[in-house]
Structure 1
Amino acid sequence: MLVRARSSLWMLLGFSLVIYMGHLYICALVVGIQIIMARELFTLRKQAYEDKKLPGFRILIWYFFFTAMLFAYGRFISRQLVNTVTSDKLYYKVVGGLVKYQMVICYFLYIAGFMWFILTLKKRTYKYQFGQYAWTHMILLLVFAQSSFTVANIFEGIFWFLLPASLIAINDVAAYFFGFFFGRTPLIKLSPKKTWEGFIGASFATIISAFVLADILGRFQWLTCPRKDLSTGWLHCDPGLPFKPKSYPLPGWIGDYFPWKEWSVMPIQWHALALGLFASIIAPFGGFFASGLKRAFKIKDFGDSIPGHGGFTDRMDCQMMMAVFAYIYHQSFVTSQGFSVELILDQIINHLTDEEQHDLHFQLGKILRGRQEELLLLLE
């Protein structure tokens, strides 16, 4: 427990420093963790004897990984990338072209890797090669595809990265301590140390923490403002209605005992309860999946990168599911469902040629002039 606590303290200090440094540094941390997780998982099925007979095969596996990274991150941060180079016309055209044809570029990069795989197939190693090919794609699907949503959450506002990640950590720690002191009833065979007492106690602790943490984190613009480019400057913005407190009147009998007449709550705190519920009930199944995977390979931990904790995969198993849910929840229930002027302008600038933009300007002018003439006729 002492080794585990010491490692947790160092991770917390380092994590806090990265949060303070801003969005790009957090993204760099996420990418670094993803690479380490991929290395830990690729190593599980690595067979040195077979790899010696297949020079370059490990490079092919990492080629697929970085192609997937280019596709996922290109989709999530294309707008921020374009906004960063708007001051330079040449860079703007180059980056705009890359963004426009990003899907085509990534597709043919993948096809090139697929052809590379076919051309490297060797007799007597077919089973191993196809096994590694399938294993690589499972890693991309279960690890990279899910955790890449973390980057999308970061640019929507550090709040949407920090709160879900914190809730998973709180749930993990609470489950450990509730299970250690009160655990009696086994929860699931895949994880013999997990108990119902730890699971239920951690659920209550996580949901309460979600409500309180949302109130604390929601007060800082540095955490709530979305990042619209790839700069590192300080952020100032209108936090929006979810982060503006609303007052609710309290029942009259409470005033007989306490001096409060109303209760001020941010709407985001009610949303945080949904995140806390998911983090405490659904996200742990990511950990159970990881436990089953370790049992299948007969290992205790995925690695030894973090003393007392195992590898990074051991610590990030629940974070992946949480990142996807946080992104989907934010897009479905928090952000405006309509088309904002900013979004429309972004689509026009990034996806229309100069000639198409001029034509759009002409057509809009024609429509507005027609409406103005109709209005003048009505006034007459």
Structure 2
Amino acid sequence: MAGRKTSKETKESASPSTAAAEEKPTIVVNEKERKKQAFIVRTIWTLVMIFGMFFIICAGHFWTIMLVLVLQVLVFKELISITSERAKNQDLKYTGYLNWYLLITTIAYLEGKSLITYTIDFLIDSNYFSVLAMKFIIHQKFVSYCSYVFAFVFFVSTLKKGYLKFQFAQLCITHMILLLVIFQGHCIVNNILHGMIWFLLPVGLVITNDIFAYICGITFGRTQLISISPKKTVEGFIGAWICTTFASVVLTYYLCNYNYFICPIENYNDLQVNCLTGVSCEPNPVFIHQIYKIPADVAKIIGKEYVQIKPIYLHATILSLFASLIAPFGGFFASGLKRAFKIKDFGDTIPGHGGVTDRMDCQFLMGSFSYLYYETFISTHHLNIGNLLQTIVINLSGPDILILVKSLHTYLFKIGMISEDVYGQLVELLN
């Protein structure tokens, strides 16, 4: 019939654009190409992180500490975001603010001692110094505790019927994150103050172990290590242990030959040094060659009764043992957490790598162990001007400090450090 078009005629009369759209093939994503692009992005950002970290370390201790603090905040943000998602949907608007308030209070409490130790001499000399600021710093722990009590009262006052179980669970999760992230991050900050080597060596050992666990795993891996991380193998675990032990000696050999890495931070001025300004100090005994007697049976074999070696190599080997056998469980813990919340990564802060937590999961555990190991087996606890000044300012009143100054002037006069005329002028000024 003339008024009716066949299906063939209808197709022929369709517009060219429609026909082209119908003929356009479906785009199929090439899996090989996708993996290639992901590898390129991951490699680029790996290089960015490596060179960025070296740049910050060379910039000085202060900027390295700032880096650690920023990483703590980012990890806290990622962990809180995945655990408090329900609060956004249930009209619990104060939960997020309370979490961040507790973070600030915890950092202030933990880092306040460092603030006092390394800035008190600067505050005394500063033209902008005020009694109020000094009082705040001196009573920092009390102020921080009062701030925490305020958060506790606020939490109780915002409890809502029907959400009690969730709110208490959220409070527990927040405190657990503060313990695992902020407290251990505080230990890492102290490692930097003890000397850059106590920060770089543990970090380098964890990175080395992670790299060689992957290489040995894909090369020799056959036996699954732990169920929550199916890609981790026993062969990769053992291979990484061996390689990390060797790397600990190499890293230590390089780092312990530079004062910039082994000198501790003792006062505010030391925080301003960088790799170009130069720094000097009396090295810790672990960086000085010591003579050790070799067991008789071994001495007969090698023909030597004594060996001369720096103790730091032994300590580095012990750190590598922890980095290889214990620190990876921080990663396994993170893997279990991701499975519990059914997520692939903790975030997308670092392209190709996921979140900051995905890269830092082992570092916090390693940092806290390194700090406690240093304090137990290495620290010499020397008295320095910063600690002495802190003790005087915090524990003595104004009149007591005046008596101390007069006594010091008298002592300096008696040992001949100041002349009689100068001593008389000082006595006249202080009376």
Q: Where do residues 105-120 of structure 1 align in structure 2 (5 Å cutoff)?
A: 105-120=143-158
Q: 1:305 to 1:244 in 2, by over 3 A?
A: same
Give the secondary-structure state (helix, strand or coil) at the position aligned to 1:85. Answer: helix
* 1:141-185, Cα deviation, whole Å (9 max, x unpaired): 111111221111111111111111111111111111111111111
1:19 paired to 2:57: yes
Q: What's 2:342 paired with?
A: 298
The alpha-carbon deviation at position 117 of structure 1 amounts to 1.4
- 2:116–2:390: 8 Å Cα contact kept in structure 1? no
Q: What's 1:88 paired with?
A: 126
2:160 aligned to which of 113, 122, 139: 122
1:241 aligned to which of 269, 285, 298: 285
Q: 1:211 to 1:96 in 2, by over 3 A?
A: farther
The alpha-carbon deviation at position 245 of structure 1 amounts to 3.2
Q: What's 1:312 paired with?
A: 356
The alpha-carbon deviation at position 210 of structure 1 amounts to 1.2
Q: What's 2:422 paired with?
A: none
CA distance in 2, matches of 1:182, 1:65: 43
1:229 paired to 2:268: yes
* 1:333-371, Cα deviation, whole Å (9 max, x unpaired): 1111576787455423443223334556789999xxxxx
CA distance in 1, matches of 2:49, 2:382: 40
1:189 paired to 2:233: no
1:354 aligned to which of 398, 404, 418: 398
The alpha-carbon deviation at position 96 of structure 1 amounts to 4.2
- 2:256–2:287: 8 Å Cα contact kept in structure 1? yes
- 1:81–1:95: 8 Å Cα contact kept in structure 2? no
Q: What's 1:78 paired with?
A: 116
- 1:147–1:319: 8 Å Cα contact kept in structure 2? no
**Corresponding letter in the other structure for 2:354:** G
Q: 1:194 to 1:124 in 2, by over 3 A?
A: same
Q: 1:245 to 1:94 in 2, by over 3 A?
A: farther
**Matched pairs, number:** 363
1:32 paired to 2:76: no
Q: What's 1:219 paired with?
A: 257
* 1:192-243, Cα deviation, whole Å (9 max, x unpaired): 1111111111111111211221121111111111122164133322223222
Q: 1:17 to 1:188 in 2, by over 3 A?
A: same
The alpha-carbon deviation at position 254 of structure 1 amounts to 6.9
User: Which range moves more in the overlay, 87-96 or 313-322?
Assistant: 87-96
* 1:303-350, Cα deviation, whole Å (9 max, x unpaired): 122233221111111111111111111111111157678745542344
CA distance in 2, matches of 1:53, 1:342: 49
Q: TM-score, normalised by structure 2?
A: 0.76
Aligned-residue RMSD, C-alpha: 3.0
- 1:100–1:351: 8 Å Cα contact kept in structure 2? no
CA distance in 2, matches of 1:190, 1:177: 20
CA distance in 2, matches of 1:180, 1:340: 51
The alpha-carbon deviation at position 301 of structure 1 amounts to 1.4
The alpha-carbon deviation at position 56 of structure 1 amounts to 3.3
User: Which range moves more in the overlay, 230-239 or 61-70?
Assistant: 230-239
Which runs of no fewer than 5 residues in structure 2 stay unpaired? 1-38, 411-431
Give the secondary-structure state (helix, strand or coil) at the position aligned to 1:302. Answer: coil
* 1:48-80, Cα deviation, whole Å (9 max, x unpaired): 674561333311111111111111111344201
Q: What's 2:91 paired with?
A: 53
Which runs of no fewer than 5 residues in structure 1 stay unpaired? 367-380
Give the secondary-structure state (helix, strand or coil) at the position aligned to 2:129. Answer: helix
Give the secondary-structure state (helix, strand or coil) at the position aligned to 1:187. Answer: strand
Q: TM-score, normalised by structure 1?
A: 0.86
Percentage identity across paired residues of the two chains:
39
Q: 1:95 to 1:82 in 2, by over 3 A?
A: farther
**Corresponding letter in the other structure for 1:85:** L
Give the secondary-structure state (helix, strand or coil) at the position aligned to 1:304. Answer: coil
Q: What's 1:334 paired with?
A: 378
- 1:211–1:269: 8 Å Cα contact kept in structure 2? yes
The alpha-carbon deviation at position 91 of structure 1 amounts to 2.3
Give the secondary-structure state (helix, strand or coil) at the position aligned to 2:231. Answer: strand
CA distance in 2, matches of 1:120, 1:361: 53
